[in-house]
Structure 1
Amino acid sequence: MTQAQEIMTIAICVAGTMATRFLPFLIFREGRPVPPYVQYLGKALPSAIFAMLVVYCLKNVDFASGAHGLPEFVSIAATVAIHLWKRRMLLSILGGTLCYMALVQLVF
């Protein structure tokens, strides 16, 4: 890749990032009501993305080998317990990740 191509690639990436950051503020100006569909997406998408992450994390679990998926399911249980206890998504994800890493590195 030439230097000109590198500069154009970086410029396109910057323009795309800036557009996704500024576009919502241009579309949904202050004082105008947010459309109901966008409000629905704001409520539904976090849970849907979390569910998709769980499915993605469990797609390669092999029940016929080694730990039979035990670290994954214990970590999911820990994530759910932390979330029910504190109701903070980032803390729940961090706790589940740390639990999984500890189980995989130290126990299994």
Structure 2
Amino acid sequence: MCLTSFQTVIMILAVAAGTQLTRWLPFWLFPEKKDPPAAVLYLGRVLPAAMTGLLVVYCLKGVAWTAVPHGAPELLAIAAVAVLHRWRGNVLLSIAGGTALYMLLVQAVFV
């Protein structure tokens, strides 16, 4: 599909406008001077844990538990993330450390 220059510019402007709208909308709906609704506060409290659980399930959905290595790299990486986060409380360190350990395990140890 070949677009004209005008169509390309319109598409770029539409994507830019949509991106800016999603960036500004929360500040317009919930200004600093007003308290957010109870539902928003509740979601802010429960969604991080729910999303973390969802991501763990998604990451483990393709693991062959009955075949060697029986999910060992995944479980070791999950344990490393938990230990790093408990130890340092730094999300980026936890994610980077778990990812690095997982990549090391699947590329060098459990080949």
Scaled by the length of structure 2, the TM-score of the pair is 0.87
The match for 1:71 is 73
In the TM superposition, what is the alpha-carbon distance from 1:6 to its structure 2 partner?
2.8
Out of 42, 45, 53, which is 2:47 matched to? Answer: 45
Whether 1:86 and 2:88 are equivalent positions in the alignment is: yes
Moved more, 28-37 or 51-60: 28-37
Q: Deviations over 1:61-100 (max 9, x none)?
A: 0123231111000100111111111122222111111110
* Distance in 1 between residues matched to 2:41 and 2:79, nearest whole Å: 30
Aligned residues: 108
For 2:97, give the aligned amino acid: G
State the distance in 2 between where 1:37 and 1:29 align.
16
* Two-structure CA RMSD over aligned residues (Å): 1.4
Which consecutive residues of structure 1, in runs of 5 or more, have no partner in the other structure?
none
Match of 1:25, SS state, is helix
1:16 alignment partner, SS class: helix
1:13 maps to 15
Instruction: Give the AA of the match of 1:40.
Output: Y
- Name whichever of 67-76 and 30-39 sits farther off: 30-39
Residue range with higher mean Cα deviation, 3-12 or 97-106: 3-12
Moved over 4 A (4+): none
What is the alpha-carbon distance in structure 1 between the residues aligned to residue 83 and residue 63 of structure 2? 22
- What's the TM-score once normalised by structure 1's chain length? 0.90
